[in-house]
Amino acid sequence: MASIAVYPGSFDPVTYGHLDVMKRAVSIFGKVVVAVANNPNKKYLFTLEDRVVMLKEATKGMKGIVVEGFDGLIVDLARRKKAKVLVRGLRMTADFEYEFQMAETNRRLAADVETVFLMPSEGFSFLSSTLLKEVAKYGATLTPFVPVCVARKMKVLFKK
């Protein structure tokens, strides 16, 4: 019997690093709910709807992946989905402190939901959505880092 995991994030935009973590998670858990965050305190490049659409396109054909938007506490979504695991990606050691804080907070809120950290493949460990937004401003080719659907949308946004 496959278990269910939730992989939350802003995915603004989704990168090949995110997709790599999703593939790893689905191979372990069987089903992964990719939960696209809608935090009113955060400024996003793309709307929630755009991020969900891009993720659905980027994960088309990946069995076991379900994409949906959410707001509120991730542990509440995990419980609604009957998931016992939150998946978080760790790229570099710089991610660890923030992720550790979040995992401990979630553990206090929902002791029945564990956090599991997965590292992307070495070739994707340097990728960050923030960095890609920066290079997109200067017209760099993004297809080595993001799916074509994302590269197209970013090109339109940053057209000079």
Report how far apart the first and last C-alpha atoms of the chain are (Å, whole number): 51
27 is catalytic: no
71 close to 38: Cβ distance less than 8 angstroms: yes
91 is catalytic: yes
125 is catalytic: no
d(CA 159, CA 145): 18
Among the listed residues 31, 91, 107, 133, the single catalytic one is 91
Block residue for tokens 């029945």? 112
Tokens standing for residue 66: 């379900």
Among the listed residues 18, 23, 51, 88, the single catalytic one is 18
Among the listed residues 24, 51, 129, 153, the single catalytic one is 129
129 is catalytic: yes
d(CA 160, CA 121): 33
d(CA 114, CA 93): 20
Which residues share a beta bridge with 67?
Answer: 34
Q: Which of 50, 16, 13, 10 is nearest to 124 (CA)?
A: 16
Catalytic site residues?
18, 42, 91, 129
